[in-house]
Amino acid sequence: MLNEVHGGYVKTETHGNITTIEFFHPAANSMPAKLLEELAHAIHGAGNEADTKVIVLCSGGVSAFCSGASFKELSLIKTADEGQKFFSGFAHVINAMRTCPKFIIGRIHGKAVGGGVGLVAASDYAIAVEGADIKLSELSIGIGPFVVGPVIERRIGFSAFSHLAIDSTMWRNADWAKRRGLYAEVHQTVNGMDESVSRLTTALTHTNSQAVRELKQSFWKGTENWDKLLAEKAAISGRLVISDFSRKELSRRI
């Protein structure tokens, strides 16, 4: 199934109990609101599909895995309510990944920025290739990684998360991300990464779905309040993105 979104798309395919959800946008896989909505919908749908035993989350193209929020769309936000609505899109995707009863394997073929790091952190197991560097750039445009913060901090710890959030212009390489637990594996080549994704997902098709559901609930224990928490975080970003500082930075970068 292919849903086209303003030059981008979210595509879902199922083969042999493995559902692959691929998103793409020509602006370095940035995320406009409609793409976030379609992605959350696709994850929710795959999680409730009886034929699906494991989900692979990936992106199209050969450059960035995900460059985060669409700066073009952020620059058009006029009110705090509009801002909250936009950032709630990331909250909906993270919560869809969190509550999905199937394991989500992240295929990280390139760099991840901002919200893209949040997608990696919300994956249950992320397999990357060398060059899949990460950065939380939000502070440099006058906001902060509020919505994605809880899932990133939960994955890599407070110290590593705070370092990323404070030094918002510095890239950390894939090895740094693996040592902090963001990536489970880092491969030298794309072929190596894809072989590992195939090996793991094939193995997971032979597992007990009920056991997977219970194990995933155990992994995400303590996040039951995230529907409310991430909505509150989206409101913070929504207020900040209409500040004079953010408006100037966004206009300079688009």
Q: Is the pLDDT of residue 173 over 80?
A: yes
Domain positions in the chain: 2-189+223-253
pLDDT in tens, 36-81: 999 999 999 999 999 999 999 999 999 999 999 999 999 999 999 9
Asked whether the beta carbons of 40 and 100 are under 8 A apart, the reply is no
pLDDT in tens, 143-161: 999 999 999 999 999 999 9
Contacts (Cβ under 8 Å, ≥6 apart) of 159: none
Q: CA-to-CA distance for 166 and 157, rounded, in angstroms? A: 14
Q: Is the pLDDT of residue 4 over 80?
A: no
Report pLDDT for 117: 98
Q: 54-59 and 112-113 as β-strands: parallel, antiparallel, unpaired?
A: unpaired
**Tokens linked to 16:** 């042999």
Q: CA-to-CA distance for 230 and 90, rounded, in angstroms? A: 9
Report pLDDT for 44: 98
Q: Is the pLDDT of residue 177 over 80?
A: yes
Residue 2 CB coordination number (10 Å)? 9
Sign of the CA dihedral 47, 50, 55, 212?
positive
CATH topology of domain 2-189+223-253: 2-enoyl-CoA Hydratase; Chain A, domain 1 (3.90.226)
Q: 125-129 and 185-187 as β-strands: parallel, antiparallel, unpaired?
A: parallel
- The span from the first CA to the last CA of the chain, in angstroms, equals 31
